[in-house]
Structure formats: structure tokens, C-alpha cells
Amino acid sequence: MTAGGDAPGMNPCVRAVVRTALGNGLRVKGIRCGFEGLLAGDFKELGARDVGGIIQKGGTVLMTGRFPEFAELRYQRLGLRKLNEAGIDALVVIGGEGSMNGARALGQLGFPVMGIPASIDNDIYGTQMALGVDTALNTIIEAIDKLRDTASSHQRAFVVETMGRSSGYLALISGIIGGAELVLIPEQDIATEEVAAAVSDAYVRGKTHAIIVVAEGASLHGQALIDALNAMNTGFQFRLTILGHVQRGGRPTAFDRLLAARFGVSAVERLLAGEHGVMVGLQGREISAIPLEQVCTEKRRANLDYYRMARMLAK
């Protein structure tokens, strides 16, 4: 099953899960449309050819959806019943935080589950990288590079808003690798005056443009930030670009495809070895597994060394 917001890398991961399982003599059913599809009994038998030609595609061929109602015990019990009726022995859930919570709930009811982290936000505890993050970062820096062309032609400042919900990861990393003057993230408060000071400092140092990357969850963001900055004397005129869902699409990068393959193979091999109730994750160079209990109760923290790095490199 793929669940929650889609992420590039879900398709190569579905392919890896299916082919590893088939190669080990198992039968595989795909659940369409996430947890809602589970409750509707929307299952489809998958063969090796059914997952052919999808390795390079963004999105998810299994379709996905958000279903916060799955937090309720009555839906979890119905889900368990649907799995049992279909003769399923184990479930692999590919998704973000909410999906890992759904997987954990089924595990707590006694069903063997395996989580695979996939979310462009990179806010899931227990893995250094989730599927989709690398592709999203590449999409963001391509946009920043293009915006810089027009910004410097007009001596303008651009505020580029990234996704990430309450996590500043995408903004922080794309700010560093996109050469932003400043990054605004939910994990680090900053006053509008300080933002204006950083931009006017860039102007005085002779810069022809300024890029500020703002996470959607930052306290300062959107048109209100632009209006406040335009009312201050920084030397630049400000424009806003909200990247939006374009960040969730596109061909998975080489990094995401390899991670998808490694996660998918490891997930099935661990289930075959009798391991369940865990999520596979990337720790250093290794694929490890961490209890879903821990994934769902601990919070991934922002690395504020990156924040300091972003400010230092902007000078």
C-alpha cells in the first residue's frame, strides 16, 4: 500500500517490494488508494509485469490518499478484517508520518506490518532520508536557479516558499545548495526586521539579487511577509513564488530510485525473516529497522548546524 501524500520513489519501491516477494515464492496484492482502499477491500493481485515500466515514474501507480479517520479503532478493526478476509499474511505500508501511525495501529492489533518511509518533508523519525526528499530538493533548486536569472536581471529579491508542513528540512537544505541569502524555517524564529537587514546587507555588498527560501510552516511567510518587506527600505523589490505541489512530482532521482530498491528489498526480506512492527530506514550507509512505536512517538529534530551554515555561506 502507498498512503498519505505521494512522493517520488514510491513507484520504484512498489516494484522492489513486488519483485522481491515474487522472487521468494510469495503472492502479492496491491491495495489501491491507501487506508481508504483497505477499508473498501480495493485489492489487486500484482505480477512482475504489473510493476514493469514504473521505475522512472513519479506519483504512485497504486494511488494514494489521506485518511485521518484511520486513527479510530473501529476503522482499524475493519482494516484488520479486510486483510484477513483477503488472506493477507503481512502488510507493507509506504508513506509518511500518518501512514506509519496507521501501520503501527494494525501492528498493535496483532497484524504483521512493515513501514517504508516516503515523504518529501523528511520529517519521519528513524531515517536520515525518506523517499522523495532528494527528488523534491532537485526540483526546488532547479526553480531557485531559474528565479535567480530573472531576479538579477531586475535587481529583485525573491521569496521562494517550499513545502514541508511543520518541518524546515526542504527549505534549509535547498537554501544551502541554492545559495539563498536567508532561510526561514519553523524551527527557528526570526523577526521581519532581521530578514530586511540581511537583504539590505546583500544590497550594500553589491548583490544584484536576493533569494530567501521560506518553509511553508515558518511563522513569517506568504504575501504578508512580502508586503512587510516591501514597506521597508532594503534596496530590493520583493516577489513571491510558492512552489506548491510541483515539488511532489517528477521522475525520481538516481538517489531516490536506489533508496527505493534498498528499502523495498529489505522490507520483504525482514518480513520473511520474521521481523515486523518496524520501519526500514537509512542510517549512515546502512538500511536498518526501527520499531514503529518509536517512529510514531519520537520527533525528528532539525539540524540547526545547517541553519548556521546557510547564514555563513550567504555572506
Residues that bind ligand F6P (CB under 6 A): 5, 66, 96, 119-121, 163-165, 216, 248
Nearer to ligand F6P, 199 or 279 (CB): 279
CA neighbor of 59 nearest in space, from 86, 83, 33, 85: 33
Residues 6+ apart with CB under 8 A from 281: 117, 124, 126, 127, 128, 287, 288, 289, 290
Given a contact cutoff of 8 angstroms between Cβ atoms, the answer to whether 214 and 220 are in contact is yes
Residue number of the CB closest to ligand F6P reads: 163
Q: CB of residue 93 vs ligand F6P: minimum separation in angstroms? A: 15
Q: CB of residue 164 vs ligand F6P: minimum separation in angstroms? A: 5
Which whole-number Å values give the CA distances from 32 to 61, 120, 216, in the listed order?
A: 8, 21, 29
Measure the CA–CA gap between 304 and 172, rounded to whole angstroms.
9
Nearer to ligand F6P, 234 or 253 (CB): 253
Measure the CA–CA gap between 291 and 115, rounded to whole angstroms.
9
Measure the CA–CA gap between 38 and 86, rounded to whole angstroms.
10
User: Strands, DSSP E only, in the chain?
Assistant: 28-31, 43-46, 91-95, 113-117, 156-162, 182-184, 210-215, 237-242, 278-283, 286-291
Measure the CA–CA gap between 33 and 37, rounded to whole angstroms.
5
Q: CB of residue 42 vs ligand F6P: minimum separation in angstroms? A: 20
Q: CB of residue 119 vs ligand F6P: minimum separation in angstroms? A: 5
Assess whether 145 carries a catalytic annotation. Answer: no
Q: Percentages helix, strand, coil for the chain, rounded to the nearest 5?
A: 45, 20, 35
Q: CB of residue 265 vs ligand F6P: minimum separation in angstroms? A: 25
The b/e string for 196-220 (b: 16+ C-beta within 10 A; e otherwise) is bebbbbbbeeebebbbbbbbbbbeb
Nearer to ligand F6P, 88 or 240 (CB): 240
Q: CB of residue 137 vs ligand F6P: minimum separation in angstroms? A: 13
Nearer to ligand F6P, 245 or 285 (CB): 245
Check 6, 42, 121, 201 and give the catalytic one: 121
Nearer to ligand F6P, 131 or 163 (CB): 163
For strand 43-46 and strand 28-31, is the pairing parallel, antiparallel, or unpaired?
antiparallel
Nearer to ligand F6P, 29 or 165 (CB): 165
Q: Catalytic site residues?
A: 121
